[in-house]
Structure 1
Amino acid sequence: MDEPTILLTNDDGIESVGLRAVYDGLSEVGDVTAVAPAEDQSAVGRAISHEVEVRDHEMGYVVDGTPADCVVAGLEALVPETDLVVAGCNRGANLGAYVLGRSGTVSAAVEATFFDVPAIAVSMYIPVREDAAFSDIEANGESYGEAVRATSYLADHALGAGVFEQCDYLNVNAPVAEWGPAPLEVTRPSRLYEMDAVREDDAVTLHDRIWEHMADGDIPDPEGTDRRAVVDGKVSVSPLTAPHTTEHHEALDALAETYESEERP
């Protein structure tokens, strides 16, 4: 196919190193316009605004809003001829089924699918332990090398290969480039969930214990899952669908039938 028109967004903000790295890489395979938040919007999910301010930027547009705002504004008003939405590269992995609804990066890709525009969410895993603050971990432009390479390859080939005829979006997670060349593995999101909460006086601390497992390399995730692939030094690509599914449930049907016979208060 002809060179695709790509809308690039993220949740780390338009000045993030990861967005610039992907912008430069994608510019080799398509016509790229960034429509990205002015500030960090991490973990906002698909939060949406009524009105957002938009300003010109050297890479495209900067939006005072969320990643979902950026996608809606981009597809409907700023870059209406978009062939592909790319969200990222996020500084930090977005792995596991439980993360998909939280991540602003992944949520931007999901938002695109409701416009029937295929999308790629891309994130980079940064090894981190409980005793090392995530914000203290260095990640320069070169660290995103494997994430950029995989994203550029998929943006160049996935549309023409018919990948999006069988899925709505791709969730891509890559290791830091310092680990060396990373093969690409098609995966499924891990189901392992280890959130806990501890109360101390008037505060409750929420803790995702998966990160320690990942840093130690002792995750219990089986082969074929996204976390296992990334910890093993591979680029994880999960083909996913966005709309919620529904199934026939006989038990719920029975409740619906008896609803009208219930005594009203």
Structure 2
Amino acid sequence: MKKPRVLLTNDDGINSVGLWAAYEALSDICEVTVVAPASQQSAVGRSISIFEPIRAGMVSMHGISAYAVGGKPTDAVIIGLYALDLKPDLVVSGINIGENLSYESIMTSGTVGAALEAANQGTPAVAFSLQVEDQGDKFDDPRRPSQSFSSAKQVVRDVCSRIFEQGFPQSTDVINVNVPSMIRGGYVVTRLAKKLFRTGVEKRLDPRGRPYFWINGPLLDDAEEGTDFHAIKSGAISITPITLDCTATWAVDDMSRLFSLEK
């Protein structure tokens, strides 16, 4: 029986241990081609390089041939689909170093952004992210995170195996999977929480006395039951179905009344 084909990408860069953990999880159950950004591209969302050329070349990583793309995660997906003509059955993005939870996070996440781009181009996609205990891991060298990926690898393999065997869920464009740093429960199908961080801005002065700013803020403590954030805080594996259609259909009647009135 022919193995399914997977395009594997990420936003932490082609050197990330999370990317290669996902490769190890999938390589014996499907044909995996790695097409990933050449450098760290976290928090770039779905931005696409349309004002500059994109360079992509084959490299050898851990004895495996892969494509390093000088651009964003979305660029890597588009290069894989159209320049390399891979025709994957599924795009897998991750394993991201750090959770991608809530409206706030998925709108900026390069991991989820790559999956959304794949879905927009007609290929179903799954994004995988691993919770980190130390938030500093998100900003350190992705080749040497302190986190273990052993449990996350099992989740990647199991989730993708279920999709290959049973098909991708209808009315879903992307499946966003978040794995707790320590799994204490099973799968929970969730909705997105509203926020992940308590946003703040820190003002500092450079050596010449001129101000500059850092956007920062700690994680919130929790979110309401049924959300992805709450599931992760409870030690469960969060599975969130995401759609590309951002239309607020429940607002159509109110909008129609608003714009049907004569001024």
Q: TM-score of the superposition, structure 2-length normalised?
A: 0.84
CA distance in 2 between partners of 1:120 and 1:21 (Å): 15
The correspondence of residues 132-151 of structure 1 with structure 2, limited to 5 A, is: 135=140, 139=145, 143-151=148-156
What is the Cα deviation at residue 161 of structure 1? Answer: 1.9
Change (3 A) 1:101 1:111: same
Q: Which residue of 2 aligns with 1:3?
A: 3
| Aligned equivalent of 2:223 | 221
Contact 1:147–1:235 (Cα < 8 Å) also in 2: no
Contact 1:8 1:32 in 2 (8 A): yes
SS at match of 2:24: helix
Residue-by-residue CA offset, 1:59-79 (whole Å, 9 max, x unaligned): 421111100000111111214
Structure-2 change in CA distance of 1:153 and 1:13 (3 Å): same
Contact 2:222 2:233 in 1 (8 A): no
Q: Deviations over 1:30-81 (max 9, x none)?
A: 1000000100011111111132111112342111110000011111121432
Correspondence for 1:113: 119
Q: 1:14: which partner in 2?
A: 14
Q: In the alignment, what sits opposite 1:205?
A: 214
2:95 corresponds to 1:89: yes
In structure 1, distance between residues paired with 2:80 and 2:215? 34
Counterpart position of 2:192 = 189
SS in structure 2 opposite 1:110? helix
Q: Between 57-66 and 111-120, report the one with greater CA deviation.
A: 57-66
Contact 1:8/1:34 (CA < 8 Å) preserved in 2? yes
Report deviation, 1:257: 6.6
Q: Which residue of structure 2 lines up, in the alignment, with residue 235 of structure 1?
A: 237
The farther-off stretch of 248-257 and 74-83 is 248-257
- Residues 146 and 175 in structure 1, CA contact (< 8 A), matched pair in contact too: no
- Worse-matched range after superposition: 228-237 or 192-201: 192-201
Partner of 1:162: 167
- Contact 1:7–1:79 (CA under 8 A) maintained in structure 2: no
TM-score for the superposition, normalised by structure 1 = 0.83
Displacement after TM superposition at 1:125 (Å) = 0.7
Percent same amino acid among aligned pairs?
35
Residues 1:145 and 1:182: Cα distance change in structure 2 (over 3 Å)? farther
Q: What SS class does the counterpart of residue 111 from structure 2 fall into?
A: helix
What is the CA distance between 1:164 and its match in structure 2? 2.7
Q: Which deviates the most, 48-57 or 95-104?
A: 48-57
Map of 2:208 onto structure 1: none
1:244 matched residue in structure 2: 246
Distance 1:220 1:175, change over 3 A: closer
Deviations 1:121-160 (A, max 9, x none): 1111111268x995389636x8112221111111111244
1:208 Cα shift? 2.7
Tell me the residue number matched to 1:45: 45
Equivalenced residue count is: 248
Paired position in structure 2 for 1:28: 28
> For residues 173 and 59 of structure 1, do their structure 2 counterparts lie closer, same or farther at Cα, with a shift above 3 Å needed?
farther
- Cα separation, 2, equivalents of 1:20 and 1:108: 17
Q: Which amino acid aligns with 1:40?
A: Q
Residue 54 in 1 paired to residue 63 in 2? no
The corresponding residue for 1:103 is 109
Task: State how 1:167-182 maps to structure 2 within 5 Å.
Answer: 167-176=172-181, 179=182
Structure 1 ranges of 4+ moved more than 6 A: none
* Distance 1:237-1:52 versus aligned 2 partners, 3 A rule: same
Superposition RMSD on alpha carbons, in Å?
A: 2.6
How far did 1:186 drift? Answer: 1.6
Consecutive unaligned residues of structure 1, counting only runs of 5 or more, are 214-218
SS of structure 2 residue aligned to 1:36: strand
Q: Rate the CA distance shift 1:59–1:18 in 2: closer, same or farther, 3 A.
A: farther
Structure 2, unaligned stretches of length 5 or more?
A: 206-210
The partner residue of 2:77 within 66, 71, 79 is 71
**CA positional deviation for 1:249:** 4.4
